[in-house]
Amino acid sequence: MIEIENVSKHFVSRDTDRVVALTDVSISIRRNEFVCLVGPSGCGKSTLLRLVGGLLPVSQGRVVIDGQTVREPRAETGIVFQSPTLLPWASVLDNVLFPLKISRRLAPDSTERARSLLKLVGLDGFEDKYPRELSGGMQMRTGVCRALVHDPDILLMDEPFSSLDALTREELTLELMRIWREQPKTVLFVTHSIPESVMLGDRVVVLTARPGRIAEVVPVNVPRPREFGMEARDEFQVAAKRIRQLIFGTGRGTTH
């Protein structure tokens, strides 16, 4: 469904130096596949996400979604950012409806859909609250609902749970897997947590830094439905170990 073909991206910094973010990246992602992008800081994983989202133009190569070359943001893509970035002046419900409002696609049943999404993440009863009245985890859940409200077929997530505490993070990871099972979508999930990537992904794309390129695409053979406690399984260990080796090199593979 998503074809990333020989994509490179460089930025021109202030002193006109060219900073290479990504070099010759190619992946093919199937419909309803859950793909995680893992790599050290500065490996260009967030950049790759933005290229797929059409928020940044590619420097070379192309991103093709359903046969269409991506040149601008696509209506059927949802994005979840690192911080919830909710609108402080809007209620939870209005925050979820915001993408529909600004793209003028508010339908009569939109509110109903927003409410059922909020119910799906356990936020029923919080529709009229304001973001500052919510905990960090609830704000992030609202952000996830906002990304799903227009029923996108692609969901891009940029380290969505990294600012949450460990327990909330596990809770949201489970919720995300449940949502994905009930409403299948193609998910591209950026993280720098190796266990998180193995827990969530069908495949894990490991990127190396400077210049960002794909080291390897690691398949995860842990059966679904997944739950915490499966980390001890061999399939989990094999995938996690391989990813560690790719990021840290073989010598330090077991120390982390």
Give the DSSP H/E element, type plus range, for residue 20: strand 18-29
User: What is the spatial distance between Cα 188 and Cα 176, in angstroms, rounded to a whole number?
Assistant: 12
Q: Which of 11, 19, 87, 125 binds other proteins (CB under 8 A)?
A: 87
Rounded Cα–Cα distance for residues 100 and 117 (Å): 14
| 64 neighbors 2 (Cβ within 8 angstroms) | yes
55, 64, 215, 238: which one binds other proteins (CB under 8 A): 55
Is 83 a binder of other proteins (CB under 8 A)?
yes
With contacts defined by CB under 8 A, name the span among 6-14, 34-42, 73-81, 173-181 that binds other proteins: 73-81
Closest approach of other proteins to the CB of residue 90, in Å: 8
208-239 burial: b if 16+ Cβ within 10 Å, else e: beebbbbbeebebebeeebeeeeeeeeebebb
Which positions from 21 through 50 interact with other proteins, judged by CB under 8 A? 50
Give the range of 10-18, 71-79, 194-202, 220-228 binding other proteins by CB under 8 A. 71-79
Cβ proximity to other proteins, 30 vs 101, nearer residue: 101
Q: Which is nearer to other proteins, 156 or 194 (CB)?
A: 156
Q: Report how far residue 106's alpha carbon sits from residue 187's, in angstroms, rounded to the nearest whole number.
A: 24
88 binds other proteins (CB under 8 A): yes
Question: Does 69 sit near other proteins (CB under 8 A)?
Answer: no
Compute the distance between CA of residue 10 and CA of residue 19 in angstroms, rounded to an integer: 5
Other CB atoms closer than 10 Å to residue 186's CB: what's the count? 22
103 binds other proteins (CB under 8 A): yes
Site residues (vs other proteins, CB under 8 A): 50, 53-55, 72-73, 75, 77, 79, 81-83, 85, 87-89, 98-99, 101-103, 130, 132
